[in-house]
Amino acid sequence: MPFLKNLHLTTEIIYRSLSRTLAREGSLVNREAYLETDGSRRPLFVKYCLGNKPTGLSFSRYQIRETNHGFTLIEMIGVLAVIAILVALLLPKVFEIIAESKANSLVAAVRTYETAIVDYYADIGSILPLDVGGTPVVEQGGDSANPLSLPARLTLDKSDPLNTETNSWVKFNGPYLVKFSTNSPPGLGSAVQMKTRTPNPYGTATNASNGTYDFNNDGNSDIPTNAYLAFLRITDVGLKDFERVDNILDRGIGATPTERQLRGRVKYNTGSNVMRIYLMHK
Ligand SMILES: [Ca+2]
Ligand SMILES: [Ca+2]
């Protein structure tokens, strides 16, 4: 704390003042004296000041204050306040970048799944998983833990004992996909299934959970009645996360939030937080 400040004093008073401080506190350690002359402020070290009176100098003002060569509490509070403001400003942006990155991971995985199914179709002539006897069959569970599901078949090696070498198994040339785990969805959600099914009849109005996908943005399904359908079902997806994925895969499809949830290849059920993504039909 300054004990004298901004006073017009002579050099003698400065020294008396410093001497009193020394007598009272026993030390001038951690104190500095400042001289202010013609508007500029220059530090005058106490040690030098006491031992060598600069009698030739004239001072207009001076002050002595405590210093500790670290941050004062006020300075620390100021620094912390600035850090807090920066964190508050940057944190939402950081979260948004992370969320965007997760949405992009899912979209990248979707592209990989599409390629795998196309390759599988090229060999087998169907997008349905093969049963034990080598016949393509609809399997609606889509859980990778079930060896009869499409994702389990896509990741199966052709030398695996599950390949019975009968019928379409002869044409099987897996693995078509390196990895698919229902319990570890890529990027978003708590679980992912790759399901196959027969779609609703062509032109059926789309809703959040039926076997319809509206690609031309008129509200009705564009999947042929006699086709088979492969799609992803991802659980526990937040509305914002759906919107990020939809904005990548369905940009421009749907004029309202509800239309965006029902149209295009990405559909969302706001009641159950389930997102469905079309992969392929044949
Ligand atoms: Ca349509
Ligand atoms: Ca959509």
> What's the pLDDT at 14?
64
Going by C-alpha positions, the residue among 120, 151, 101 that lies closest to residue 282 is: 120
103-159, pLDDT tens digit by residue? 999 999 999 999 999 999 999 999 999 999 999 999 999 999 999 999 999 999 999
CA of 170 to the centre of ligand 2 (A): 38
Task: State the DSSP code for 81.
Answer: H
| pLDDT exceeds 50 at position 226 | yes
Outline where DSSP puts E strands in the chain: 31-36, 41-44, 61-66, 191-197, 229-235, 266-269, 274-281
CA of 191 to the centre of ligand 2 (A): 20
The residue with greater pLDDT, 17 or 173, is: 173
CA of 80 to the centre of ligand 1 (A): 56
- For residues 225-241, give the mean pLDDT: 98
- For residues 87-98, give the mean pLDDT: 94
Q: Give per-residue burial for 21-50: e unless 16+ CB within 10 Å, then b.
A: beeeeeebeebebbbeeeeeeeebebeebe
CA of 55 to the centre of ligand 2 (A): 86
| pLDDT exceeds 90 at position 85 | yes
**What ligand has the least distance to the C-alpha of 275?**
2
